[in-house]
Amino acid sequence: MNVALGGLLTALVTGGLSALAGLLFPTPRRATVVGIGTAATGVAAVAAGVAAMAGQPAVVALPQLLPLAGLLFTLDPLGGVFVAVTGAVAVAVGIYGIGYARHGLRGRSFQAVLPLFVLSMVLVPAAASVGTLLLCWELMALTSLLLVLAEHRRRPQVASAGRWYAVMTHLGLVVILIGLLVFAANAADGSFAALRAAGPTVSPLVAGLVFVLTGIGFGSKAGIIPLHAWLPRAHPEAPSNVSALMSAAMVNLGAYGIVRIGFDLLGGGPGWWWLLLLGLGAASAIYGILLAAISTDLKRLLGYSTTENMGLVLVGVGASGLFAASGESTLAGLAMAAALLHVITHAAFKTLLFQSAGSVLAATGRRDLDDLGGLRTGMPFTTAAFGLGALAASALPPGAAFVSEWLLLQALIHGLPASGLSAAIVMPLAVAAVALTAGLAVVTFVKAFGIGFLAKPRSPEAAAARESPASMLTGMGLAGAACVGLALLPTVILPGIGAVAAGVVGSGNPVVVDAVTIRLADVAGSLSPLLLALALTVALVAALAAARAVATRRATAIDARLWDCGGGPLSARMEYTATSFAEPLQRVFDDVLSAEQDVDVTHVEESRYLVQTIDYRRRVPDRIERRLYQPVLAALAGWGRVGRRLAPGSVHRYLGYGFYSLCAMLILLVVTR
């Protein structure tokens, strides 16, 4: 038995046992056992994924287990990447969850479902037949739904978020189901091997239909606009360890599904598929990060940032397909490698950010940035962790996302001379979209970190915040180490990622690395993240030393009052808040956001020239949601009201319905025969 197969089976067994332990162990030790079990499942999954990326095949066939089709799992390099990412996230989140469970999450159902959720996410990329994929996909949807609903007794909003999530994820499943059934109807059977053989031969119309349908389903899981509506609801309302799992591991599988169907099974396709995908990805990236920049709820902000990052991944996937369609296989490989690397970096920093947000939530009970601030004194480790994650997320060197976005930009700019006129229009716009996204990400994360963690506390809870327990810090430390490793030494994993990407699009490895430098194959371009970080450190130390040497007075620093314009000590109420920080941006993008503002001025009774209070309210509704979902929901509700008139409660009437429809059916039969 090889490592890939062994890892997969070990993950299955440990995951199952952890779920059992969640059911059987007594409350005091339950969370610890489940947490360790989840982490062990993750370790096994990482081993399986990495071995699969290295080329070890793992095939598990259980033909008797499921009627009609049976279960079939095959771990290939592409699936291996996603299994490894899911496993790594599960390791950090599993350990983190031990401490986080103290906040009312020790219940039997929650602890038993958590390992099952991880397990289902490990199995989705390994599934190798339509039936298996759909089964694992549904298992993943159901388990995650149960986890999202964990805190529904405490907050009424959880139920509404859960409803949105349940409806959207199941509509997604239905669309994927239809798409895959159409595909399988044109193939020998439902196994991926048969689909792969049939992929290039199906008619373009059917192939396009399959791609669009599965794309809608998988895209909604990835949080792509306009199907993102569940994401900023479910992510904030879920417990933070679940948010981390969903945001760092589950949404990736949407991107996985698109790559699997589009490249692997359908064998690439015409340019318009990928143009559509690229356009949607770019729009999601900008819209997601814009709403993240405006939102004041820390976890909602992170949720919107997930939409942004998945958008960037799909920009890479779309560009890759576009290049492949025009025969530029090396560039296609480069764009795919960038997309896969971004999946990995996003998983690392989003795990870290959601864990830190959870740590803040556990310590203060607040998610609203306007109530936070000053956490650096009470929670230094969490502050450092969030700072590290924010650096990684804002695509600045030396951060993790900088490397993947650099690769993406390189692929896009080298695509201009390579392909035709459509690329000449698309590529500059895509570069601009990625650039605007990067710029807005800077605003978003400066706001989240600066307003949330620095300055003065804006609420008594924030002032009294204390650091989280060691298990949570360990989980954050693991995710943080992954961020640092990806930022400084992406050269370790890039050859493997490049090989997987090359395998997906059928090219040579698009990246060549030596110890510290990434070089692009066939096109010019090189970057050394480690050297950059080193140069920055040397410059920092040199500047410090020079400043020390030049400063003639070596006197120790003295404390002084802040400049308060002579008005007495500044209070926390005078600080900039997250709302005010984002106000210029909100004004600049007013045409897109169309925020609703409300100013109420109450005058003093004696004179209307003197102001007593000013009440300012601002709401930034999600415009896509308002334009797209509310009409549909209103129509559905109206339809329901009409339908209700047919059901007044009289049994005679219902029997009558049955009688008349039977007659109609019989008449129809007589007429048609």
Site for another protein in 400-439 (CB under 8 A): 402, 406, 409-410, 413-414, 416-417, 424, 427-429, 431-436, 438-439
Does residue number 322 form part of the binding site for another protein (CB under 8 A)?
no
Q: Site residues for another protein, window 263-302 (CB under 8 A)?
A: 293
Number of chain positions touching another protein (CB under 8 A): 85
Nearer to another protein, 79 or 316 (CB): 316
d(CA 418, CA 323): 8
Does residue number 614 form part of the binding site for another protein (CB under 8 A)?
no
Name the one residue in this structure whose structure tokens are 């549904």.
138
Beta bridge partners of 390: none
User: What is the closest distance, in whole angstroms, from the C-beta atom of residue 537 to another protein in the complex?
Assistant: 8
Q: Which of 155, 174, 492, 576 binds another protein (CB under 8 A)?
A: 576
Phi/psi at 616 (5° precision): -120, 125
Does residue number 587 form part of the binding site for another protein (CB under 8 A)?
yes
Does residue number 44 form part of the binding site for another protein (CB under 8 A)?
no
Nearer to another protein, 56 or 577 (CB): 577
Stretch that binds another protein, among 225-233, 294-302, 566-574, 651-659 (CB under 8 A): 566-574
> How many beta carbons lie within 10 A of that of residue 352, not counting itself?
30
Under a CB-based contact definition with an 8 Å cutoff, are residues 124 and 48 in contact? no
Nearer to another protein, 91 or 433 (CB): 433
Q: What value, to the nearest 5°, has the Cα angle with vertex 486 and ends 482 and 491? A: 135
Nearer to another protein, 110 or 402 (CB): 402
User: What is the closest distance, in whole angstroms, from the C-beta atom of residue 344 to another protein in the complex?
Assistant: 20
Beta bridge partners of 601: 614
Q: Which of 3, 9, 396, 463 binds another protein (CB under 8 A)?
A: 396
Q: What value, to the nearest 5°, has the Cα angle with vertex 234 and ends 232 and 237? A: 105
Name the one residue in this structure whose structure tokens are 């760092």.
248
**Reduced to 3 states, what is the DSSP secondary structure of residue 601?**
strand
Nearer to another protein, 112 or 433 (CB): 433
Q: Site residues for another protein, window 532-551 (CB under 8 A)?
A: 532, 535-536, 539-540, 542-544, 547, 550-551
| Token reading at 321 | 């397909």
| Token reading at 306 | 């997930």
Q: Site residues for another protein, window 449-468 (CB under 8 A)?
A: 449-451, 454-456
Stretch that binds another protein, among 85-93, 521-529, 592-600, 604-612 (CB under 8 A): 521-529
User: What is the closest distance, in whole angstroms, from the C-beta atom of residue 304 to another protein in the complex?
Assistant: 15
**Reduced to 3 states, what is the DSSP secondary structure of residue 13?**
helix
Burial zone of 101 (CB within 10 Å; 0-12 exposed, 13-18 middle, 19+ buried): buried
Sign of the C-alpha dihedral, residues 554, 557, 558, 562? positive
Nearer to another protein, 583 or 625 (CB): 583
481-493 as b/e: b if 16+ CB within 10 A: ebbbebbbbbbeb
Nearer to another protein, 159 or 531 (CB): 531
Helices 298-325, 204-222: axis angle to 10 degrees equals 160
Nearer to another protein, 202 or 513 (CB): 513
Does residue number 517 form part of the binding site for another protein (CB under 8 A)?
yes
Cis upstream peptide for 428 (omega within 30°): no
Q: Which of 113, 313, 426, 440 binds another protein (CB under 8 A)?
A: 440
d(CA 311, CA 367): 25
d(CA 435, CA 510): 23
User: What is the closest distance, in whole angstroms, from the C-beta atom of residue 487 to another protein in the complex?
Assistant: 12
Q: Site residues for another protein, window 170-199 (CB under 8 A)?
A: none
Nearer to another protein, 250 or 582 (CB): 582
